[in-house]
Amino acid sequence: MAARKTAPAPAEPKAKTAEPKAKPEKKTKTAAAAKKAPREAETVPGTPRAKSTAGTRTAKTPAAKKTEAKKTGAKTTGTKTTESRSARFSGASAAGKTLVIVESPSKAKTLSKILGPGYVIKSSVGHIRDLPRSRMAIDIEHDFAPEYILVKGKADIKNELTALSQRANGVLLASDPDREGEAIAWHLADLLGVPLDRECRVRFYEITAHAVREAVAHPTAIDLRKVDAQQARRILDRLVGYTLSPLLWNKIRYGLSAGRVQSVALDLICEREREIGRFVPEEYWNVTVKADTPDGRAYEMKVDRFDGKSLWKNSLPLLIKDGAFAESLLEEIRANPIVVSEFRLRESRRKPQPPFKTSSMQQEAARRLSLSPRRAMRVAQDLYEGIDLPGRGLTGMITYMRTDSLRIAAEATEACRAHIASRFDSRYLPPQPNLYTATGRAQDAHEAVRPTDVSLTPESVKAALTPEQFKLYDMIWRRFVASQMTDAVVANSTLLADAGRAGMRQLGESLLFEGWSAVWPLDLKGDRLEPAREGEPLTFVSAEKEQKFTRPPARYSEATLIKTLEEDGVGRPSTYATIVDTLYDRGYAEKNDDRRLQPTALGMTVDEFLKKHFDRGSLASIVDAEFTARMEQELDEIEEDKRRWLDVVKTFWKDFSPTVETARDAERVPLPEPEPIGEDCPQCGKPLVKKRGRFGEFIACTGYPECRYTRAILAAIGVKCPKCGEKEGGEIVKRRSKKGKTFFGCSRYPDCDYVAWNQPTGEKCPECGAGLQKKGKTLACPECGYKAREEVSGA
């Protein structure tokens, strides 16, 4: 089909590479299987427990050496390799200094300012070795030995680090303090000949001068338990992805793929869609009564009782089933005086919420800031690695952002309490620090996500931050400070009144003492309710009935999906942000107009196939959240040294492999039919249909390949383009990015390149004159930051 020129979506940061797609292959041994591997206790290709000593490397087969040489650009002669470009790196700059290797260049820049001239800081730019993308590269027959190769494009980095390490006084490996970071440190140690028992590993949980110098002064050995857990996860994901993907190609369509965690997420989204499809709306009626008193107190009550029996069920008046009964209630109320039967006032204390962990930070960033999980993590990474502050230089603003712990260091807690005492009176500071404990199997080595220095208030650093950085830092800072403040005190009031046989109720909430809500929003569900006396008559003002229908369960948002996965024990802090993006990339799910996750027809087809063959009842229930949660628990037990990684992988494969073999015998699944749009092709007259390609849905001719007519799907929103609308008549149309996200662009693209993530309203900003955009229920200006609550007619 002819290539279509589509409007580009607003720029987003590049994502980390998702699990790659495999090419179909026959059952053959990997290169690492060229000779029989020794027992696990001995040297095994790519096994963390294999001992490494200075000047030696982990054993590799000739085939594996040849593969690595090809990746690095080295010349090969038999089994010997010669790095042809290593002479370019003399390593002289590291002579007499300590070499510190981190993951990202921006972190290297911050550390250079802190550690000074006695250190050379270099970046590996993420993983330096990994499994090849073109094949499984797991030697199943020989204890699942992985075949690691140098990541494409990393030859120069590897050669430079090798040269520097040979001239340096010592090497410190300072990759991120999680499993992935520990694995990166292990790969670097193996490549550079650093003994695994040497104290070469430093972990920065926050990048401040004190924390960095303290970590450098007390290095430890690489934690091989973490490396084992990471390798087990990597091997499991590779076994699932590179086994299921060819299966899906054969049974559904070429190019499809499946993953261990993503399959659970897809099933949650699809199962919710099935619930919505099965849902039958139930009619009910709201009956509302307005009344007041001579002294000006006004009440708006809902009818909730009749003849002393409740009419409400599941927080709705479901027993008022039709308009006739609702009308009879209105007649009963109009015919009888309204008298207060009871007024209750109860004080309740609202405890502060804990500081953020990864999942809760992503959820709140999506809810309050409209940041996707991946975008929130990218901004958090920038804050963690360092911001150039006037008078301070590069400064890490927050602690490490991939964590499931709620623990706060004692020094940080005391600093926060001192800050609260300096800004608020004594009522806002509890006598003792508030302590929080994460539920489930949280890894408590990290702290919660918090500001590194609470004295750096959001307003004091706003000028140094981008708008997104400021919003996220402000949210993290406020949540942390609020977590150490006293409870908020709320008055909960209930008014009960009767009119003949009909009973009414009104609930109210009001804030008696703000406590922690002085810095973090407290969402009250009701308005202040004026007190009333038992037996007091109320004057009838009006009454009305309103027909309603129950609603189906809501589709997941990115935030609620992450919350559900976390509650089910699926995934880890490091994986939450990539899960939804992977489903977008594969065309399995998309965002609808309400920014909720909706499965595509292809996603439903894939999920139905996986549920049929890999759901509960099968030996390897990879779409079952409970099964996947048990796998996560086993990975945690590997890190805790309670289980061997090889035992976990072997057990999984023993159950998974026969399940796959059974699925291979299944019949081919028909693809969903393209949706007709009721138009004929203007070129050949054949019907047009809606299809899905790499960049979302489009209109195409059913006469393909003889007829190659296509066009984009454009939905005008009735607003002129802010850039060219006045002169050229361009209109704003709704489009979809290749990840399924809705964005807005000009109908005159490519002649006009206007794009925006938020919906333009056609209104002008009262402060700067730029076009306003709609963000939820707020009108916002992208130029000057002006915000206003959207006015809704009838509200």
* Torsion over CA: 95, 100, 105, 106 (sign): negative
Return the bridge partners of 338, or none: 538
Tokens 């200006």: give the residue. Answer: 781
**What are the backbone dihedrals phi and psi of residue 678, each rounded to the nearest 5 degrees, phi first?**
80, 20
Distance CA 405, CA 709 (A): 55
Characterise 78 by phi-psi region: left (phi > 0), alpha (psi -120 to 50), beta (else): left
Q: E-strand spans in 478-596?
A: 488-499, 502-513, 537-549, 589-591
Amino acid letter, 666 = A
Q: What is the dihedral of CA 498, 503, 508, 512, to 10 degrees?
A: 50
Positive or negative torsion for Cα 553, 555, 560, 563:
positive
Continuous segment of H or E residues that includes residue 77: strand 75-77
Catalytic residue among 400, 576, 588, 754: 400
| 400 annotated active-site | yes
Is the CB of residue 663 less than 8 Å from the CB of residue 686? Answer: no
- DSSP strands (E only) in 184-318: 283-292, 298-306, 309-310
In the three-class reduction of DSSP (H, G, I as helix; E, B as strand; rest coil), residue 66 is classed as helix
Whether the link from the prior residue into 750 is cis, omega within 30° of 0, is yes
Cα distances (angstroms) measured from residue 281 to each of 30, 324, 381, 551: 56, 19, 45, 6
CA distances from 770 to 471, 598, 744 (A): 21, 33, 16
- Strand-pair category, 338-350 with 488-499: antiparallel
Q: Are 110 and 207 in contact (CB under 8 A)?
A: yes
CA distance 791 to 403: 40
Q: Helix, strand or coil for residue 689?
A: strand
Beta carbons within 8 Å of 474's beta carbon, 6+ residues apart: 458
The CA distances from residue 284 to 313, 369, 501, 505, 737, in Å, are 11, 35, 20, 17, 40
Q: Is 332 exposed, middle or buried (0-12, 13-18, 19+ CB in 10 A)?
A: middle
Contact, 65 vs 81, CB < 8 A?
yes
Cα maximum dimension of the chain: 103
CB neighbour list of residue 270: distance below 8 Å, 6 or more residues apart: 599, 603, 604, 607, 608
Please give the radius of gyration of the chain, using alpha carbons only, rounded to the nearest integer.
31
Strand partners, 286: 546
Distance CA 370, CA 381 (A): 18
* Residues recognised as catalytic: 400
